[in-house]
Amino acid sequence: MIKMQELLLIGIGTGNPDHITLEAVAAMREADAVLIPRKGDDKSDLADLRRQICAAHLDDTGHVVEFDLPVRDGSRAYLDAVHAWHDAIAEVWQAAVPNGAQRVALLIWGDPSLYDSSLRIAARLDPAPKVRVVPGITSLQVLTAAHGIPLNTLAEPVVITTGRQLRDHGWPVGADTVAIMLDGSCSFTQVVSEGVQIWWGAYLGMPQEILVSGPLAEISARIVETRAAARVQNGWIMDVYLMRRAII
């Protein structure tokens, strides 16, 4: 049996098929197999988008292979659960590769290098294939473009972190602008809101895109309510936000 020789991690943007770059299309067409994860009925839109991309850019979709993504164990300590989950995903990736497929592609939401674990999972594969990353448009890029704002203020730093870090450790020291990803618990409600502006977006790049912005003190509750309603309506949600404190 011929083993996988190369793994292509292809960034596909945040939900708009027009986010696919020419480099991504070329990489998809080079692959002997394209793997598509199924994440359950509540996130079927994500698998559907990947199917649409394959149908639009591949002359033959016969080498598209779908697999069921393992579920993370929520009862374990966070890092222990994540490591075990990544081990399980690596095994599933390996099992999903068809016999004889030497170059295999995975279509990665956003970009494989920004708050995505595909590179860490790929490092668990044995035997280890050559890994090639094709960059994609990130949710942070789409967020700032959608709101028409720059990521940073003049000559000032930006911290990109997670909702868990914001919740556990507060506003990052030394930064007036913070971008928050992977926040399932609206951690912005736990920061001092005076003088803070927030730009929030969900389903960025998709038809159901939602954008809310303004002073955090005035619209925090609105974002919480909007997010909860959208999650119920769609069965899932992916969102990101940027906050900026007034520079005194």
**CATH for 221:** 3.30.950.10
Q: In the listed set 111, 137, 163, which residue is the last one of a domain according to the structure?
A: 137
Of 94, 95, 100, which is closest to residue 63 (Cα–Cα)? 100
Residue 89, domain CATH: 3.40.1010.10
pLDDT value of residue 68:
92
Q: Per the structure block, which two tokens stand in for 52?
A: 């649409």
User: pLDDT of 160-217, one tens digit each?
Assistant: 999 999 999 999 999 999 999 999 999 999 999 999 999 999 999 999 999 999 999 9
User: When comparing pLDDT for 74 and 143, which is higher?
Assistant: 143
12 lies in the same domain as 79? yes
Determine the pLDDT at residue 114.
Answer: 92
Q: What pLDDT does 239 receive? A: 97
pLDDT in tens, 116-139: 999 999 999 999 999 999 999 999
pLDDT of residue 82: 94
Confidence of residue 247 (pLDDT cuts 50, 70, 90): low
Q: Do 119 and 62 lie in a common domain?
A: yes
pTM of the full predicted structure? 0.90
Beta strands in the chain (DSSP E): 6-11, 33-38, 64-68, 103-108, 130-134, 158-162, 177-181, 196-202, 210-215, 239-245
Classify residue 209 by its DSSP letter.
Answer: -
Residue-level pLDDT at 2: 62
Order across the sheet with 6-11: list the strands: 64-68, 33-38, 103-108, 6-11, 130-134
Considering the domain architecture, whether residues 149 and 214 belong to the same structural domain is answered as yes
- Is it the case that residue 248 has pLDDT exceeding 60? no
Claim to verify: residue 119 and residue 161 sit in the same structural domain: no
Within-domain flag for 1: no
**Domain hosting residue 82, numbered range:** 6-137
- pLDDT tens column, 65-105: 999 999 998 888 989 999 999 999 999 999 999 999 999 99
Return all residues near 159 (Cβ < 8 A) that are at least 6 apart: 172, 174, 175, 177, 178, 179
Tell me which residue of 138, 118, 47, 121 sits closest to 87, measured CA to CA: 121
206 within domain boundaries: yes
DSSP annotation of 176 reads: S
The pLDDT value recorded for residue 246 is 83
Q: What pLDDT, in 10s, does the model give residues 212-246?
A: 999 999 999 999 999 999 999 999 999 999 999 98
89 and 28 assigned to the same domain: yes
Q: Where are the alpha helices (DSSP H) in 132-177?
A: 139-147, 163-169
152 & 193 share domain = yes
Residue 148 and residue 100 share a domain = no
165 & 62 share domain? no
pLDDT of residue 38: 85
Would 176 be classed as within a structural domain? Answer: yes
pLDDT of residue 96: 94
Number of domains within the chain: 2
84 and 177 in a single domain? The answer is: no
Domain shared by 211 and 223, yes or no: yes
DSSP class of residue 151 equals S
Domain boundary (82, 104, 137) is at 137
Q: Which of 76, 103, 137 marks a domain boundary?
A: 137
Average pLDDT over residues 31-37: 95
